[in-house]
Structure 1
């Protein structure tokens, strides 16, 4: 009589062991069927069917394992093993059914790649979300390029940039790369942005600024002459040297008046008792690179031109060359924009918000979609080129950049509705 509790405890433990051993496969099958049926049909698999299926699989598995014996069938361990099998099967079915109900129906690799920012770093400015991206860690040098200068490295490390917060991380990195490449004239740059708006920057310093603007078959020459007022980089000019006229393109221009203005705008150096050395022009007195595109004030100065190789010697040998600015005509883009504004229409550029837009919205707003630029998975989240006149079959999606045209009130209402 004293051994009865010990025998009962042994039977319970053996029942738990047999139930766990034989219940793994029925639970896996029940969970898989529950997920597949709920995901593809939206219907929950009945619990009675799960019980029958689990018992059938467990009986087959028990026969293969040699567990169905007269001694086992007549002992309490069998009842406990059956209960364990049914509990595992019903639990697995419940979890599979829940997963099938919560998993999105339209799942693509593109959406998985479009990670967005954490809500903690988004700042609301009016109704538009913005984020301040800051660099994290050190600014790394890009392999195959010279190292960054200390000033440029410090400027990148101390910088912060505000960008729209409704864009994927890949698009934020792409926009920041274009911005820094333009502001600092970087040869190359690679940026990775995480969910906390922290940017890891790998950059290459500027190299060959002037040589990159000279086309193949041309040479850059500098001449001292009277610079026309308003001359800027990119203008087409004619250099008259005696009886010859040589055509060239302006790469940079600088006059004495520009130098005087730059010297007046620069802060005066602090007084010091140290002896000044003839080390050339101080870097702080040189005009920043952003003035290279500015128009000159006119007067005596120097102009760097891109001319054909055969014209280099005549230009350099000329005693007093004269510059004549050639007409490039009226830009067709500005003419088209003037005609649009004359008719009372407006053109707006915007980025589609998370809600997207459909063609019914565009039709109701009486606007016309002129061009769309979209990112794709085959380019690693980078932007494609502009698609002009996309037509009604190209629906606007979240993250698209678009140009629209229409009446001013309708265009403003349309952009405010879908650019949030």
Structure 2
């Protein structure tokens, strides 16, 4: 009589062991079916079907393992094992059904890359969120390019850039790469930004900056002449050599006044600068501004001219420069006409909630869209112009819309959420 409770406890533990051993496969099958049925059809798999399926799989598995024997079938351990198998199968089915109901139906590689910044690093400037991106660690050299110079590496490492905080990290990376390319004339740059606004920068130094600015079929020629005040890179000029006028584009310009100014800045004494007792720091270096306008006066100008005109420009004794007019900017004229008609143009980035908004109303016109593509890792494609854009706007797309000011503002705010 005293050995009966001990035998019962042993049978219970053996039943738990057998139930766990044979219940793993039925639980996996029940959970997978519950997830697939709920995700694709939105219907919950009935519990009775789960019980029948689990018992069928467990019986087949028990027969293969040699667990169905007369001694086991007539013992309490079989009942305990069956209960364990059913509980595991029903629990796995419940979790799979819950996962199928909560997982988004439309999942793409683009949405996976649309990570956003942490709320701790976002700064509110008025009603607009901004973030200050700073490099972390060392500035790495890009493979296949020469190493960065110490001054450029130091400048990039100490830099910081303010960017809008309401766009995905992939767009932040693209904008920072464009800014670094423009500000420092880098040959190539790759940036990765994490949720804490820390950037990992891989950059290549400028190489052949002048040759890359020369249009195909033209040559760069430097001439000593009187430089007009305000001349800058990109201006169109006429080089007058005697009776000829040769049209060219300014690639760079320097005057004697610019050289004297830089010499004065570099020779400014810094020994008399008072400190507050802290660590001594080196004076900041003047920023190089290759696009800055010249002060005017005698100097040298590098102009891109046609190949057939190179000899004429070089043989001229005293060439003169005449700046050509580009006329009124058509872009500004178009914006002025739109504003004069009582309409407004707004640019916005579609947010996660804005993707569910309906198409623009009749009074709001969609002018252009710049989309993201999964095949390019979330990078931007070119702008698509025209109102006949077929598919709807998705999260992360950039768009221009035009219409009455109130309707345009309301639509832009709704889409940017």
Equivalent residue, structure 2, for 1:276: none
- Displacement of 1:333 after TM fit? 2.8
- Displacement of 1:20 after TM fit? 1.9
Equivalent residue, structure 2, for 1:221: 221
- Displacement of 1:231 after TM fit? 2.5
SS of corresponding position for 1:293? coil
- C-alpha distance in 2 between matches for 1:348 and 1:260: 45
SS of corresponding position for 1:369? strand
Equivalent residue, structure 2, for 1:346: 344
Equivalent residue, structure 1, for 2:415: 418
Q: Is the 8 A contact 1:191 1:200 kept in 2?
A: yes
Between 1:73-82 and 1:57-66, the stretch displaced more is: 57-66
- Displacement of 1:260 after TM fit? 5.2
Equivalent residue, structure 2, for 1:268: 268
Task: Map 1:88-237 to 2 at 5 A.
Answer: 88-237=88-237
Match of 1:316 among 314, 317, 321: 314
- Displacement of 1:188 after TM fit? 0.6
Residue 397, structure 1, aligned to residue 394, structure 2: yes
Residue 12, structure 1, aligned to residue 9, structure 2: no
- C-alpha distance in 2 between matches for 1:97 and 1:155: 54
- Displacement of 1:138 after TM fit? 0.6
- C-alpha distance in 1 between matches for 2:348 and 2:102: 33
- C-alpha distance in 1 between matches for 2:267 and 2:412: 44
Q: Is the 8 A contact 1:372 1:390 kept in 2?
A: no
Equivalent residue, structure 2, for 1:83: 83
- C-alpha distance in 2 between matches for 1:381 and 1:241: 52
C-alpha offsets along residues 240-280 of structure 1, whole Å, 9 cap, x if unaligned?
222333332211223344445556777822359xxxxxxxx
Task: Map 1:369-380 to 2 at 5 A.
Answer: 369-380=366-377
- C-alpha distance in 1 between matches for 2:262 and 2:65: 92
Equivalent residue, structure 2, for 1:275: none
- C-alpha distance in 1 between matches for 2:294 and 2:333: 26
Alignment CA distance shift 1:45-1:312 (3 Å) = closer
Q: Structure 2-normalised TM-score?
A: 0.87
Alignment CA distance shift 1:17-1:148 (3 Å) = same
- Displacement of 1:141 after TM fit? 0.7
- Displacement of 1:358 after TM fit? 6.8
Alignment CA distance shift 1:271-1:91 (3 Å) = closer
Equivalent residue, structure 2, for 1:387: 384
Structure 1 unaligned segments of length 5 or more: list them.
273-282
Alignment CA distance shift 1:406-1:94 (3 Å) = closer
Q: Is the 8 A contact 2:252 2:303 kept in 1?
A: yes
- Displacement of 1:67 after TM fit? 2.6
Q: Is the 8 A contact 1:240 1:321 kept in 2?
A: yes
Alignment CA distance shift 1:5-1:350 (3 Å) = closer
- C-alpha distance in 1 between matches for 2:337 and 2:267: 46
- Displacement of 1:295 after TM fit? 3.2
- Displacement of 1:121 after TM fit? 2.5
Equivalent residue, structure 2, for 1:277: none
C-alpha offsets along residues 348-405 of structure 1, whole Å, 9 cap, x if unaligned?
33323332257756316x3322111111101111100010114363433322222222
C-alpha offsets along residues 200-237 of structure 1, whole Å, 9 cap, x if unaligned?
11001112222211223433222222222333222222
Task: Map 1:245-284 to 2 at 5 A.
Answer: 245-259=245-259, 268-270=268-270
Equivalent residue, structure 1, for 2:25: 25
Q: Structure 1-normalised TM-score?
A: 0.86
Q: Is the 8 A contact 1:371 1:390 kept in 2?
A: yes
Q: Give aligned pairs, total.
A: 407
Structure 2 unaligned segments of length 5 or more: list them.
273-282
Alignment CA distance shift 1:394-1:319 (3 Å) = same
C-alpha offsets along residues 99-139 of structure 1, whole Å, 9 cap, x if unaligned?
22222222223222322223333333333332222111110
SS of corresponding position for 1:314? helix
Alignment CA distance shift 1:67-1:118 (3 Å) = same
Alignment CA distance shift 1:102-1:410 (3 Å) = closer
- Displacement of 1:85 after TM fit? 1.5
- C-alpha distance in 2 between matches for 1:394 and 1:265: 57
